[in-house]
Structure 1
């Protein structure tokens, strides 16, 4: 048990470490006259695991023997560990264990530990610094000093991804009765914790209060509080609040030149002046990773955000990838999930859905492990959008539900908008046009249910497709007019092609073909198989309805290749169905009695088998309800059935036979 006590005491120094150094523990054990062979016995008993020179705790909590041990024995363990670390290059572990071994008031030792915790570099991560600050607070000379150190400990715990520990330390600091400056620092930590897991409107007000309290005593932290308030306002979808937080405080050049450029650029963009905002934002982007410019993850994430706002998705990926690498290598741990979210969102915007899924899945695990439920909701929303492309309605529903649960409780307008867009896009992939239009109409329009200001325009092409094909022409035209103004700002590389496609859907036959051709030419200027495939699919379907099956097949085959290459399986199924309607046989053709049906009858049969009404089938296939009625009667006659239920069962059996011969 003495060996386990040493492991637990060493683990207390850094709760985020990947195990503890076996050499240090064994040196301390030998100095204490303990049997070092006990390590093998403890591993055999499953109490710990030795791997790569590191000792990892077993199923029982590593601190259990430490907390259950008398104080004198705990102090003795810390003394042994302090001596074992003394030969090493770092002072912080030695000071931490000496402070933990102190039995009487030791103000000087506490001061030395606090100084070491505040010293930059030295190989210490936020979790270790948090433990050092908390221990130094216990040795502080007065209540005010204790409060300062506890707030620092809380902030480092937040950065380490230990929110529960951070809140516990803040509560202890509050009981010490801090002055205004310390209250401001505590409010800053509290607001940032709420931004990670809490109502973002509350986080914003807490952060603005922190800025007010810190303005005179600590202007740099006051600026940090305002920038965090911008994040909270953005997540809430409150553009006016973003501008207010950006403009609060001075905008002076000097050491904070890049911060000033970022605030100036973002404020101009948010006020509808993108031409004015782009130059300072490009300055922020150009400085990312440049010599002599701090490459902390916060700086890099701001550069990535600037690139996304400007519409330079390549620069956004580069800055956010570097931010992720730096956060993983040097910390803070709390920014890893955020960097992954920015990366996933940028990949989604660029149409690289498989990459977006990989980053979002990693980010979701990281966010949940760090208690960052708000970030987890954003990752769920991104995964729902990816699933809407990859053709998994179940995954769309699962991730959208998870995102919306947190979004509703915490006021996350961006996550909620992304989740609704994902549901609507899944409806489009399945030909459920009225449902898609109903979901997206409020998001892209005006009024209290309007979508997030940074996302709503991205969803307009989906709404226009659904609305135009269900006869909601005026609503579609209004949305296209707003989309055209937004596209002219150049903030999304896909928007020019999407705008031409939207106009094609709303134009007359004499203009439509030229607009589709223009859309495809613009797709050639921007990467992204998925959006190009959607344009080819709509173009090919229109050509088929114009009774030009030969030309339609070429477009539809191109669409199928684009969807298959991009993993858009649900949309690939639409392209195959359109190809069948042109008489083009291919893989996945019907089996059994379904071979008796014509391509159009087969499409109608499959729609009815999914539960669609005759009117819904007519909307999906762009035919009249009378045509559907006529074909459905012939389907029943050809298959020898009398009900829609029989048809559903027959189609289900035939599709299973085709999928699993």
Structure 2
């Protein structure tokens, strides 16, 4: 017996490594002499047949045993035992039972089991049956009976492909899901290999339409021309090529009665005016079914009992969903055109109200329209306004565009649909709508939407140029979008760290727009960046006063930015929270990541690191959901800063790496500066001031690698601390005096409550020893007025280090103990470990777990353990001294005692001992 020529080695399978591993496990047991069965189930098009063929081809290629392989023939479904006949005919060589005899007289389930065991007794046998749900009932029953009884010692494995699990209940089942995004993209690359590059928008639309169905993706690609794939020609709407998959889905409903078919068509049509995934209104379906003449008892049975629709419909509260999205499309695809239009007209009548028809009714009428309809298109545009959700407005505008006859009008409506899709957070649909605008510029709306999309997912410089160009096109006739475009260009310049470009965009905003708060915000920000700080702060404070009466998310977000520039961090948190609430209440969804980022950053400035982390994590999920990688990059930077306080160090490094990876290609200087600052702060927490100083130096000093203009001043206190602790404060090469004076000037102008305390701490770090203590006391007095556990604890830690270094250990214990408690209170674990180490070195027992464990260092003092670990990491005596705030002579003394206690003679032996 051998594999027939109808089964061949398939193309490479994408995204099915887990399923292939399960099949290989089954085949491995078969080679070892055990049998078993597995049912592969999936809706049509997900690769069930490809997996079966792969398993059969792999087993046959190794020549480990015979393979029986059969696929159902729908035309023979009513012929008894036709399935078993096809399966046995796939074998070559004599069988205990002739296939013809099977067809003539049938075979009992027990007889099939005996036959398979007999075949397996010679050599391990693999049996593969595809589309077994379409076999005749007798063959299905016999196969299921035999498969359930194969087990240890049978040397027969049965793999069954079926559209559902119920036919072979009791057997192990593996249900295939759609391909994930990476696998679908890899398959698309394979399918388009011969045609060359695929336009990114076209690529996104194909992946979106296919929804992880490999057969559907192949069908869509196969119907497009090379010009359409490359974006040179507009895509057809709707995309062709999915007919075979839709027919296969619809085939599962062929056995249902006509009334159920009618209700399924009503349910499918009723979802046309609903957002994606929302399902249909059960009450509407009951009314529509009654109007269509369906018996109420039948309606109840189908809508309230899942089995009534063969599992096609599922009820969830007041909503009715199809079990699979393609099944809904299949129902609409299979229905005759006249019947489908009649159903849409019926629903439009039920949804209509007095006066002008509501948007859902108009959408149903659009679905029923036989061709272009200028009047209906105009009604759709008029109804697609607030307070309708942005997603519904986008869908309505797209239908209006499809019904339009004028090319320019069609392009303008597709552009408006793209804008609403962007606001709804659906960037893929927005780009698909833009691709249908064609050669008509749509009055600047299309360039505006492209620029706003690039602002969230593209190089910031490109976004700025696109939005400036859009503002020029929109200025004569659309002041609202012009203003939004210019604010977007300014935001792009801010993210780039280009203050001149920011001022250029802000100065283009009209000097007298209707909104007085906008005038003050524009003038205030320009004044601050232009060096007129006092005047700028006065104007921005007016913006904060206006914020008490503001309700729109954009206005509240600008007010929160004003508060941050002023340094009023508590006001920034309050206003940011109001902006977030406004976005959640009023939308748009696309603004949610930005609102969460602003609030999280304000909370970081206020020292509320746990809240900042919670909001940043939510923002990161929202950015991914709405297709905004640039926002995700900024949120990774915020999370890195939070992790530099709370830990662990691995989390800080991971978020910082993600932020830097996204910031580089898109020129996001602000995110890169924040991420670098976060890693430097984690270095300080771990006692690596030299590394921290090296990271922060380029960001705070003038030069081509200078950091973001709005962040560099905030990082100066960390830089001063890093340089001072690394022992380089006295060499005069790091521009510390200039940095401190610049920070002092900023402190005199800001209302940030932490700035005076941080300035006093910087001066204490650089002051002579006899003056430093007074400076620390001054800093602590400022902290008492400002609040904030973390910054106060950092000052206490540095003060305690100074006292211990001057051998005033008894006095050092007080501030070090207070620092440890404060760090623990604000969950700053790494900083607490550092404070605990200093406190132990000052001679006080601290109940802090030793991260290195007992091991060979258990007999050493805490200070000796710290020195041993630093040396084992490769640090020199001087580097250890800097890290632990002791003299090199002290390190040498302790290290000799460590060598003696551990019985080692060199640093290399010490490192090997700790490795073990």
Give me the TM-score of the superposition, normalised by structure 1.
0.91
- 1:503 paired to 2:763: yes
Candidates 134, 139, 158, aligned match of 2:403: 139
Residue number in structure 2 paired with 1:149: 413
Residue number in structure 2 paired with 1:281: 540
TM-aligned CA distance change 1:166 to 1:593, over 3 Å? closer
CA distance in 2, matches of 1:24, 1:643: 83
Candidates 734, 748, 754, aligned match of 1:494: 754
Residue number in structure 2 paired with 1:207: 467
Candidates 89, 103, 106, aligned match of 2:373: 106
Q: How far 1:375 sits from its partner (Å)?
A: 0.4
Q: Could you list the runs of 5+ residues in structure 1 that have no partner in the other structure?
A: 654-661
Between 337-346 and 210-219, report the one with greater CA deviation. Answer: 210-219
TM-aligned CA distance change 1:445 to 1:57, over 3 Å? farther
- Note the alpha carbon deviations across 1:476-521, whole angstroms, 9 max, x for none: 3232122112222115321111111011000001210011011111
Q: Judge conservation of contact 1:29–1:80 (CA < 8 Å) in 2.
A: no
CA distance in 2, matches of 1:545, 1:332: 56
Residue number in structure 1 paired with 2:880: 617
Residue number in structure 2 paired with 1:365: 621
Candidates 866, 877, 902, aligned match of 1:603: 866
CA distance in 2, matches of 1:652, 1:43: 67
TM-aligned CA distance change 1:10 to 1:635, over 3 Å? farther
Residue number in structure 1 paired with 2:10: none
Matched residues, number = 642
Counting only pairs closer than 5 Å after superposition, residues 380-529 of structure 1 correspond to structure 2 as: 380-473=636-729, 474=732, 475=734, 476-529=736-789
Between 199-208 and 523-532, report the one with greater CA deviation. Answer: 523-532
CA distance in 1, matches of 2:308, 2:635: 38
- Note the alpha carbon deviations across 1:227-261, whole angstroms, 9 max, x for none: 111111111111111111111143116x2211111
Q: How far 1:471 sits from its partner (Å)?
A: 3.0
DSSP-derived class of the 2:315 partner: strand
Q: Judge conservation of contact 1:581–1:603 (CA < 8 Å) in 2.
A: no
TM-aligned CA distance change 1:50 to 1:414, over 3 Å? farther
Q: How far 1:43 sits from its partner (Å)?
A: 9.7
TM-aligned CA distance change 1:165 to 1:531, over 3 Å? same
DSSP-derived class of the 1:572 partner: helix
CA distance in 2, matches of 1:649, 1:4: 72
CA distance in 2, matches of 1:576, 1:308: 34
- 1:355 paired to 2:611: yes
Q: Judge conservation of contact 2:306–2:314 (CA < 8 Å) in 1.
A: no
- Note the alpha carbon deviations across 1:340-365, whole angstroms, 9 max, x for none: 01111100111100000000000000
Q: Judge conservation of contact 2:527–2:536 (CA < 8 Å) in 1.
A: yes
CA distance in 1, matches of 2:319, 2:787: 46
Q: How far 1:455 sits from its partner (Å)?
A: 0.9
TM-aligned CA distance change 1:529 to 1:71, over 3 Å? farther
Q: How far 1:586 sits from its partner (Å)?
A: 2.0
TM-aligned CA distance change 1:136 to 1:544, over 3 Å? same
Candidates 334, 351, 356, aligned match of 1:85: 351
Q: Judge conservation of contact 1:424–1:435 (CA < 8 Å) in 2.
A: yes
TM-aligned CA distance change 1:17 to 1:529, over 3 Å? farther
- Note the alpha carbon deviations across 1:325-344, whole angstroms, 9 max, x for none: 12112211001111101111
Between 590-599 and 319-328, report the one with greater CA deviation. Answer: 590-599
Q: How far 1:644 sits from its partner (Å)?
A: 4.8
Q: Could you list the runs of 5+ residues in structure 2 that have no partner in the other structure?
A: 1-252, 254-260
Residue number in structure 1 paired with 2:288: 28
Candidates 325, 342, 352, aligned match of 2:581: 325
- 1:379 paired to 2:599: no
TM-aligned CA distance change 1:71 to 1:565, over 3 Å? farther
Residue number in structure 1 paired with 2:519: 260
Greater relative contact order: 1 or 2 (C-alpha under 8 angstroms, separation 6 or more)? 1
- Note the alpha carbon deviations across 1:192-214, whole angstroms, 9 max, x for none: 01001101100000000011111
Between 136-145 and 373-382, report the one with greater CA deviation. Answer: 136-145
Residue number in structure 2 paired with 1:309: 565
Give me the TM-score of the superposition, normalised by structure 2.
0.67
Residue number in structure 1 paired with 2:122: none
Q: How far 1:573 sits from its partner (Å)?
A: 0.1
- 1:65 paired to 2:330: yes
Q: Judge conservation of contact 1:387–1:395 (CA < 8 Å) in 2.
A: yes
CA distance in 2, matches of 1:160, 1:592: 57
Q: Judge conservation of contact 2:455–2:630 (CA < 8 Å) in 1.
A: yes
CA distance in 1, matches of 2:571, 2:534: 18
Residue number in structure 2 paired with 1:560: 820
Q: Judge conservation of contact 2:272–2:364 (CA < 8 Å) in 1.
A: no
Residue number in structure 2 paired with 1:634: 897
Alpha-carbon RMSD: 2.5
Q: How far 1:264 sits from its partner (Å)?
A: 0.8
Q: How far 1:223 sits from its partner (Å)?
A: 1.7
**Structure with the greater alpha carbon radius of gyration:** 2
DSSP-derived class of the 1:207 partner: helix
TM-aligned CA distance change 1:519 to 1:71, over 3 Å? farther
Residue number in structure 2 paired with 1:657: none
CA distance in 2, matches of 1:77, 1:440: 67
TM-aligned CA distance change 1:198 to 1:589, over 3 Å? closer
Q: Judge conservation of contact 2:904–2:910 (CA < 8 Å) in 1.
A: yes
- Note the alpha carbon deviations across 1:504-539, whole angstroms, 9 max, x for none: 000001210011011111111223211111100000
Residue number in structure 2 paired with 1:75: 341
- Note the alpha carbon deviations across 1:39-76, whole angstroms, 9 max, x for none: 33269977565333234554655764367445725534
